[in-house]
């Protein structure tokens, strides 16, 4: 009765480190406001996944089985929210005067993963594929939570910093609108991939 920690870490790194709604939001925030200003948002995103992990680990999936319609509605509400965020990103301009507004903070970051279908898919996969039957819920949930938090602490700032570096090169140039539209398109594509083509985080 245990969690396959090494295998899960490999899986988790391959998912946390790849494009998805959260990473696209981090990159866009870093691009818009700069790396330092985005750090509270980064912290919120990292801790926000815990708001999904613990309820799933302690039986939320049983409710999903009992009331699948509720979860279907929730899934599509989340998709709509992510698409709205993507539309906002597509219309951002890094050099615009409103770019001087305050960056989204910690609490804005907390909402990203609970509204991210990709995060839900990854976490459910983690519990179903890497946790041995009969493992105590507290042990399994704490292990998954610690592993993912560690990966996020390392990988989420990388995406944010990449956004900052890219923005310094393209802000105010003809390439700027294409960058923001590309980030928005990747955000939507990552959600559709999870819904219709596979599982990642």
When mean pLDDT is compared across 10-19, 65-74, 85-94, 128-137, the lowest value belongs to 65-74
Residues sharing a CB contact under 8 Å with residue 81, sequence separation 6 or more, in sequence order: 115
Tell the burial category of 138 from Cβ atoms under 10 Å away from its Cβ (0-12, 13-18, 19+): exposed
| Angle at CA of residue 197, ends 191 and 199, nearest 5° | 70
**pLDDT, tens only, 84-95:** 767 876 776 665
pTM above 0.85, yes or no: no
Instruction: Please report the sign of the dihedral spanned by the C-alpha atoms of residue 180, residue 181, residue 187, residue 190.
Output: negative
Q: What is the pLDDT at residue 23? A: 86
| 11, 126 Cβ separation under 8 angstroms | yes
**pLDDT, tens only, 31-69:** 888 899 999 999 999 999 999 999 888 876 566 567 677
For residues 179-186, average pLDDT:
77
């Amino acid at each position: 009765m245990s969690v396959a920690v090494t295998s899960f870490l490999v899986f988790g790194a391959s998912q946390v480190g790849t494009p998805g709604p959260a990473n696209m939001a981090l990159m866009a925030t870093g691009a818009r406001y700069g790396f330092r200003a985005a750090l509270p948002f980064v912290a919120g995103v990292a801790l926000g996944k815990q708001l999904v992990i613990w309820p799933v680990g302690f039986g939320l999936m049983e409710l999903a089985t009992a009331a699948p319609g509720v979860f279907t509605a929730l899934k599509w509400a989340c998709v709509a929210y992510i698409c709205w965020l993507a539309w906002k990103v597509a219309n951002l301009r890094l050099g615009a005067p409103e770019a001087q507004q305050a960056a989204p903070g910690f609490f804005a970051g907390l909402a990203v993963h609970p509204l991210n279908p990709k995060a839900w898919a990854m976490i459910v996969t983690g519990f179903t594929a890497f946790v041995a039957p009969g493992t105590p819920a507290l042990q399994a949930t704490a292990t998954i939570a610690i592993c993912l938090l560690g990966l996020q602490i390392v990988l989420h700032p990388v995406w944010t910093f990449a956004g900052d570096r890219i923005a310094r090169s393209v802000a105010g140039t003809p390439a700027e609108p294409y960058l923001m539209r590309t980030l928005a398109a990747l955000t939507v594509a990552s959600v559709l991939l999870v819904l219709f083509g596979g599982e990642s985080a």
